[in-house]
């Protein structure tokens, strides 16, 4: 069955079962490798993307449920060859040790900062509850998000 998805501002038609997890369509059909497979249960956040402004775990969303919605992946947040301030801050703060979780965390943080550019540390922590990092760079991650928030407000 053909499913039409709007990903990073572009329409794509893919032949997929409507119940196929969005993550699989993004990675396998559209070759967007930023969202990563972690747990497959919507509990680790490695596959986080933004759908209509909200951070969601793409492994837990059937592709058909994303039809007609704006999907943003990590590949779609840079503009005109310039990294998004969150991406820049993660590099500057060395927030990603192994980097496996980083794209999901960046996307969750982007959804938060788009909705609330003056997010407090507590609000950032709450927004990241669905994103796990096994490397222990939590403090650097928080600093990176706060740094990006400050830059975005200016």
Residue 137 has pLDDT above 90, yes or no: no
Q: How far is CA 97 from CA 60, 115, 142, 148, in A?
A: 26, 27, 14, 18
Domains, the chain: 2-76 (3.10.20.30), 85-153 (1.10.150.120)
**What are 70-122's pLDDT values in tens digits?**
999 999 999 999 999 999 999 999 998 888 899 999 999 999 999 999 999 99
Residue 148 has pLDDT above 90, yes or no: yes
CB 20 within 8 A of CB 5: no
pTM value is: 0.95
Residue 127 has pLDDT above 90, yes or no: yes
């Amino acid at each position: 069955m053909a499913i039409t998805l709007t990903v990073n501002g572009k329409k794509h038609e893919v032949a997929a079962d409507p119940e196929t997890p969005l993550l699989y369509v993004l990675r396998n059909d559209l070759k967007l490798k930023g969202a990563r497979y972690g747990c497959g249960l919507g509990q680790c956040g490695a596959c986080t993307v933004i759908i209509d402004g909200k951070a969601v775990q793409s492994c837990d969303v059937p592709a058909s449920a994303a039809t007609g919605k704006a999907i943003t992946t990590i590949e779609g947040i840079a503009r005109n060859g310039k990294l998004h301030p969150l991406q820049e801050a993660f590099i500057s703060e060395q927030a990603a040790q192994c980097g496996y979780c980083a794209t999901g965390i960046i996307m969750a943080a982007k959804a938060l900062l788009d909705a609330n550019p003056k997010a407090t540390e507590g609000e950032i922590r709450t927004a990241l509850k669905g994103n796990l990092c096994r490397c222990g760079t939590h403090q650097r991650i928080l600093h990176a998000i706060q740094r990006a928030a400050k830059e975005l407000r200016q």
